[in-house]
Chain A
């Protein structure tokens, strides 16, 4: 049996050396000294240094989550918490594992992009495109920077919003991120400004978005609209086994924000991300979250609907292959009347993979007229694989309408026979049925992602069937 994309990562040569060309690298393990050093090297204001230290204390006190994926292999003492790469990236193309390079070939990823994805290039070479867009954003007063730079250049907006959505005490991994964060995206959209072209993490100069402890903060002022896109369908090669990000989003009155993530981490990565948005009156938050890679993913994008009429849309797509546990879902907290939410989760489990939908619908007392719909569809491609749903509900208000629907499907023999009768091979037939299954989510992705996604499914099916 040939190996699909899902299979890459199984053969990573962990032995290959990361060249020691860093300007600075903290000691392994986490301590007060390490955190102090990070803050010092970044030249941060005192409040941030204190915030980091306090977060460290919280992190050390908090227990590991007992639910979700198996995290017993995560060794916090065996991790570098801060590495500042030299200006010239150390890794060379030859050092990128062959499987990854082959996958890039198959996906037809352009040269420049490949190097970036593999951690070879210092930045994505899209300067020309980027330059024009940057001018436009600037004219409209939009700020789009990496988070470290934003802290320096816009200290007031930063301090006003930072950590207001995800406090360090929220969970152990949020505390960890708060203590050692580095990089991530900072976006500020002024009142009434609509940005039609999605902001892509790619475009950011000095992109550090592949970092382990990235921290993103997005503020959408009243009546604004923006779509932020991060990640890609190609596997992201990372020598770091822990990816613990925090994303905080504030959407003010009548604004709308869409945050699209497609992540395909290599299969050694624990992907533990806290993503949360606060939506004020008549604001709309849309999370589109695709998780293809990693060893364990625990990610439940949340929307706190503070203002009446606020809306939340969470679309989640996961593929769990051999050795993978994708524990994902969404949380919607209805805190005001006439708020509405819609969660659609689609998972594919194959080759022994395990995927779970874990979700929460919470309605506070007084939030009347709330509407919420949850739909979880699981597709299980073989008997070795598994899918579970854990839909939690906590409803303190009577005048609400709550719907929940879960389905489990397979690629049926009749479907395969029908499609093969029209000339498709077994794997092409299976890929077609699977693409149909995820279509409701894929059609929400930017065009180039949708195309890549279908190609990826095709590759995976070649590995899974026949």
Chain B
């Protein structure tokens, strides 16, 4: 496997003049799973947005490199082209655009990129889509609905994972893919994430609960408090946090 990785070094980010990330360093290789856990408002989503190049998030200091390329000044779509992906904590609604059309569009963009390939036909894509949706136990009717419009929390999360599987990026940040899921859905979504990992995707998984980590086995767990990684360890750290909370780590 190629040696693909994302390196975050001393990342400091502010929004509307307020400093949120205060020096984050993290290195993720393809195929690895890094869990990030931390209290509400500690800056986890900010990290994911900054990684993807959201224009409102200002990088004050530090560097971002993907496969040895500095991506700091690249637009979100350029980052996506180079293999980054974010599953949103709060996926965005696109009224009037069907899931089917949306996914075919982004899939064809991706194909054109990878092997200069020809776009797939509507028919071909729909066959592929049906199969992938089946794996995530999504109802066929979802394909004809508008992107995230009126979706339940669980449906939104599945649609994010569906995109992860369809786009098959190098590095994916999953921002709370487990929040709001019932027990069965958690398992289904986890299986989707695991399929992606088997294909070699490197994952940063932001979560509040150790539960998902029973299904998606992390190589590393990082504790995130007040804009920084304050402690890193193995899977056992997640259990410890679940028992003790964060207070013992707050400075």
* Residue ranges of A at the interface with B (Cβ–Cβ < 8 Å): 412-415, 417-426, 428-429, 432-433, 435-440
Contact = CB atoms under 8 A, between A and B. Distances in A.
Given A418-B92, A421-B77, A421-B79, 14 more contacts: A415-B93, A415-B94, A417-B54, A418-B94, A421-B76, A423-B80, A423-B109, A423-B113, A426-B75, A426-B77, A432-B97, A433-B94, A435-B97, A436-B97
B96 A435 contact: yes
Contacts of B94: 415, 418-419, 432-433, 436
Interface stretch (B12-20, B83-91, B237-245): B83-91
Nearest to B166: A422
Contacts, number: 71
B96 A439 contact: yes
22 contacts: A412-B92, A415-B93, A415-B94, A417-B52, A417-B76, A418-B94, A420-B77, A421-B77, A421-B88, A422-B80, A422-B106, A422-B163, A423-B81, A423-B113, A423-B167, A428-B109, A432-B102, A433-B94, A435-B97, A436-B94, A436-B96, A439-B97
B95 interface: yes
Given A420-B77, A421-B76, A422-B80, A440 B96 contact: yes
The 3 nearest A-B residue pairs measured at CB: A436-B96, A439-B96, A436-B97
B211 to A, nearest CB: 27
Contact of A436 (B54, B55, B81, B95): B95
B220 interface: no
Contacts of B93: 415
B157 to A, nearest CB: 15
Nearest to B95: A436
A428 B108 CA distance: 13
A317 to B, nearest CB: 13
A413 B54 CA distance: 9
A425 B78 CA distance: 8
Interface string B38-69: 00000000000000101110000000000000
B30 interface: no
A422 B167 CA distance: 8
Contacts of A433: 94, 97
A96 B75 CA distance: 39
Contacts of B163: 422
A438 B96 contact: yes
Contact of B85 (A421, A437, A440): A421
Interface of B: 52, 54-56, 75-77, 79-81, 85-86, 88, 91-97, 102, 105-106, 109-110, 113, 146-147, 163, 167
B92 A420 contact: no
B95 A437 contact: yes
Contacts of B92: 412, 414-415, 417-418
A462 to B, nearest CB: 14
A437 B110 CA distance: 25
B96 A424 contact: no
A269 to B, nearest CB: 29
Contacts of B86: 421
Given A413-B55, A432-B102, A436-B146, A420 B97 contact: no
B12 to A, nearest CB: 21
Contacts of B76: 417, 420-421
Contacts of A417: 52, 54-55, 76, 92
Contact of A425 (B77, B97, B147): B77
B120 to A, nearest CB: 15
A419 B80 CA distance: 10
B45 to A, nearest CB: 13
Contacts of A421: 52, 76-77, 79-80, 85-86, 88
A426 B55 CA distance: 12
Given A432-B97, A435-B97, A437-B95, A420 B75 contact: yes
A386 B162 CA distance: 39
A69 B93 CA distance: 35
B111 to A, nearest CB: 10
Given A422-B163, A423-B113, A432-B97, A413 B80 contact: no
A421 B110 CA distance: 12
Contacts of A422: 80, 106, 109, 163, 167
